[in-house]
Amino acid sequence: MVYSQQRSITILMLPWLAHGHISPFLELAKKLTSKRNFHIFICSTPVNLTSIKPKLSPKYSHCIEFVELHLPHEELPKLPPHYHTTNGLPPHLMSTLKRAFDMSSNNFSTILTTLKPDLLIYDFLQPWAPSLASLQNIPSVEFITTSAAMTSFGVHHLKNPSPKFPFPSINLRDYEAQKFNNLLESSSNGIKDGDRIQQCSDLSSDIILVKTSREIEAKYVDYLSGLMGKKIVPVGPLVQEPMYLKVDEETWIMKWLNKRERASVVYVGFGSEYFLTKEEIEEIAHGLELSKASFIWVIRFPKEEKGRRVEEVLPEGFLERVGRREL
């Protein structure tokens, strides 16, 4: 049978409402459609889809579509539609956003019924999604967008609160461990985040996808597999494709990297929605300066400080002292 004449396999994706989750889901969709005859629907709130649509080049328009998921807002007046995302969400409304996401389950069930996908790929906080899919005989697979090291560390402490993590290179100080535990204990709709995480992994059909590779995290992948009792399938780093870069054209960053020795550059970044305090910036700058290593440091500012320049927040004379080691 000719490849183009084969029936396409339909996949519905439901990421958590954060850009750092939606973006890897989109890159996974691109990777899947480039390998096989898949047709993929990515489901999220209108405000999130507005920001992600520009990242989809026209070559994928025939095989990747976006589906709007509407969260209730009349019942939750403190959470208008422009807050149906973690981007720019006031911290005190995070629990409300999770509650609204849970309350959208009926709308999501209708989407499942309408699209009748062959597979659901879902994120780590919505156990109701695979449960609803199961009611319609649709298999589900969890996709974890964080590293295997981070995920295995978290799951280890959920399942084994007392014993130490078996890889001592990852170790939290007491105050850091308390913050970490507070994250797992935080709840909305009467469900702790730690319980949501465990339920989502339990409901995944035989395998769990993780944004990583065995070349980088083999020992953590294997440990995570044992903790979860599921086969872990690494799907690669899922780096976003340059939208308008010509084939074989080097970016200025690549040119800078190509002048450095292999494995000699430190990358410093804390995600798309974490903003460092002045004290944190000063401490990191001090450490990078003492390290004598070349580095790429990503510093982000909140929306209200969008026009701020990096030079304004770095210690005085820092750029001059590190010279050409920084980017």
The predicted structure's pLDDT at residue 247: 53
User: How far is the CA of 177 from the CAs of 153, 173, 174, in angstroms?
Assistant: 11, 6, 5
Q: Out of 107-116, 162-171, 204-213, 219-228, which region has the weakest mean confidence (pLDDT)?
A: 162-171
pLDDT recorded at residue 106: 97
- The average pLDDT across 198-214 equals 97
Find out whether 20 and 87 touch, Cβ atoms under 8 Å: no
Rounded Cα distance between 98 and 51, Å, is: 20
Strand, coil or helix: 209:
strand
178 and 93 part of one domain: yes
Q: 104-157 pLDDT, tens per residue?
A: 999 999 999 999 999 999 999 999 999 999 999 999 999 999 999 999 999 999
> Do 206 and 264 fall within a single domain?
no
Q: Are residues 151 and 277 in the same domain?
A: no
Domain that holds residue 67: 7-234
C-alpha 49 chain-centroid distance:
15
Residue 247 lies in a domain: no
Q: Is 1 inside a domain boundary?
A: no
Specify the higher pLDDT residue, 244 or 81. Answer: 81
Q: Are 266 and 293 in contact (CB under 8 A)?
A: yes
Please check whether residues 135 and 223 belong to one and the same domain. Answer: yes
- Are residues 180 and 70 located together in one domain of the fold? yes
**181 and 314 assigned to the same domain:** no
In angstroms, rounded to a whole number, what is the distance separating the alpha carbons of residues 8 and 17?
A: 27
For position 207, what pLDDT does the model report?
98
pLDDT, one tens digit per residue, over 231-282 is 999 999 998 877 665 555 567 888 889 999 988 999 999 887 888 999 999 9
Boundary (domain end) residue, out of 168, 200, 234: 234
Q: Are residues 67 and 131 in the same domain?
A: yes
Q: Are 27 and 53 in contact (CB under 8 A)?
A: no
Residues 284, 194: one domain?
no
**105 in the same domain as 186:** yes
CB proximity list for 289: less than 8 A, separation 6 or greater: 318, 321, 322
Residues 223 and 299 in one domain: no
In one-letter notation, the amino acid at residue 165 is F
124 is a domain residue? yes
Q: pLDDT tens digits, residue range 273-320?
A: 888 999 999 999 999 999 999 999 999 888 778 778 888 899 999 999
User: What amino acid positions are annotated as catalytic residues?
Assistant: 21, 123
Q: Is 319 helix (H, G, I), strand (E, B) or coil?
A: helix
pTM higher than the cut 0.85: yes
How much is the pLDDT for 324? Answer: 78
Task: Answer whether residue 246 is part of any domain.
Answer: no
Report yes or no on 240 lying in a domain.
no
Looking at the domain assignment, is residue 244 inside a domain? no
Strands 191-192, 187-188: parallel, antiparallel or unpaired by DSSP?
antiparallel
What pLDDT band is residue 160 in, cutting at 50, 70 and 90?
confident
Q: What is the mean pLDDT of residues 84-104?
A: 95
Whether residue 72 is found in the same domain as residue 131: yes
- Answer whether residue 15 is part of any domain: yes
The mean pLDDT value for 66-85 works out to 95
CB 140 within 8 A of CB 129: yes
pLDDT of res. 2: 40
Question: Which pLDDT does position 271 carry in this prediction?
Answer: 82
Among residues 186, 203, 234, the one where a domain terminates is: 234
Q: Are 262 and 241 spatial neighbours (Cβ–Cβ below 8 Å)?
A: no
Last residue of some domain: 234, 267, 291? 234
Answer yes or no: is 243 within a domain. Answer: no
Shared domain for 177 and 287, answered yes or no, is no
* Total domains, the chain: 2
Q: What is the pLDDT of residues 5-58, one digit of tens each?
A: 567 899 999 999 999 999 999 999 999 998 889 999 999 999 999 999 999 999
| 252: exposed, middle or buried (Cβ count in 10 Å: 0-12, 13-18, 19+) | exposed
Place of tokens 């490849």: 3
Closest CA to 194 of 121, 120, 127, 99: 127
78: CATH: 3.40.50.2000
Model confidence at 186: pLDDT above 70: yes
